[in-house]
């Protein structure tokens, strides 16, 4: 394992985040705070509690998850797309570094930024509402696994995209709608039976549900099933990346 090469890629990507601190950290935190104020105040005045939890506290895990999903994808996608755009990807591919080490460097940095962002948003939420985390280790596990999985997805998108506009297609048109429809701001138990079954086809439901369980021990689906689903998504993303490097898809001229 070439730790020097991994460290070089990782540090470069982390330094890029610090150079664009407003875009990387401040903007998502402010957006989440606005979500919290609008939904917590407007809807919270009508829905006071869900399963014994105040509505303002109930939506905190969903808001954190929403930010993690979008930021993990965006950070990883741009991180690998920019070397492709400038042509420096060929220098990386010709260097004595394996595909695994390249992936660890880029994805590890993107996941780290998302984890830091999630923790900052959690701290920010404490300014608005009292939050109890009943299972902190499970919370951190979901935070890390989700950040890693969607950073891998972003890595795939960054290789697939052939233009800057395509980097935002899946986060904006797929991930964000799935997050809004995945129980971020409500419990799926509030839906009619037919739509509850339809909602269970949404993979984000399992992530939000498991993450919320770590806070309040309430969930829309079984916590074990949530963990199995995130592990399945992680394995699937790793398999796709293995195929990309093996086939040279979008990497070889």
Structure pTM?
A: 0.90
pLDDT in tens, 4-23: 889 989 998 888 777 766 66
pLDDT in tens, 134-146: 999 999 999 999 9
pLDDT in tens, 23-81: 667 777 787 777 777 776 666 566 777 888 888 888 889 989 988 998 899 889 999 99
Sign of CA dihedral 36, 38, 42, 43: negative
Output the CA–CA distances (angstroms, integers) from residue 88 to 14, 83, 92, in the order listed.
18, 5, 7
The values of phi and psi at residue 54, to 5°, are -60, 145
Beta pairing partners, 53: 50
CA distance 148 to 111: 5
The values of phi and psi at residue 131, to 5°, are -125, 135
């Amino acid at each position: 394992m070439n730790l020097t090469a991994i460290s070089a890629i990782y540090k470069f990507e982390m330094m890029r985040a610090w150079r664009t601190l407003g875009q990387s950290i401040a903007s998502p935190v402010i957006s989440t705070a606005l979500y919290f104020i609008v939904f917590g105040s407007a809807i919270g005045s009508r829905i006071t509690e869900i399963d014994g939890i105040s509505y303002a506290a109930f939506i905190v895990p969903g808001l954190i998850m929403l930010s993690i999903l979008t930021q993990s994808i965006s950070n990883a996608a741009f991180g690998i797309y920019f070397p492709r755009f400038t042509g420096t990807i060929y220098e990386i591919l010709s260097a004595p570094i394996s595909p695994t080490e390249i992936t660890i460097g880029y994805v590890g940095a993107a996941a780290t930024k998302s984890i830091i962002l999630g923790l900052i948003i959690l701290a920010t939420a404490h300014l608005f509402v009292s939050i109890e985390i009943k299972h902190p280790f499970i919370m951190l596990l979901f935070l890390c696994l989700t950040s890693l999985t969607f950073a891998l997805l972003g890595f795939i998108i960054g290789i697939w995209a052939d233009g800057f506009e395509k980097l935002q297609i899946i986060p904006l048109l797929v991930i964000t709608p799935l997050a809004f429809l995945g129980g971020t701001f409500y419990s799926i138990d509030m839906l009619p039976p037919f739509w509850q079954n339809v909602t269970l086809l949404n993979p984000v439901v399992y992530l939000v549900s498991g993450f919320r369980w770590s806070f309040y021990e309430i969930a829309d689906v079984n916590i074990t099933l949530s963990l199995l689903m995130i592990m399945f998504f992680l394995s699937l993303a790793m398999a796709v990346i293995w195929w990309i490097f093996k086939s040279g898809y979008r990497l070889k001229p």
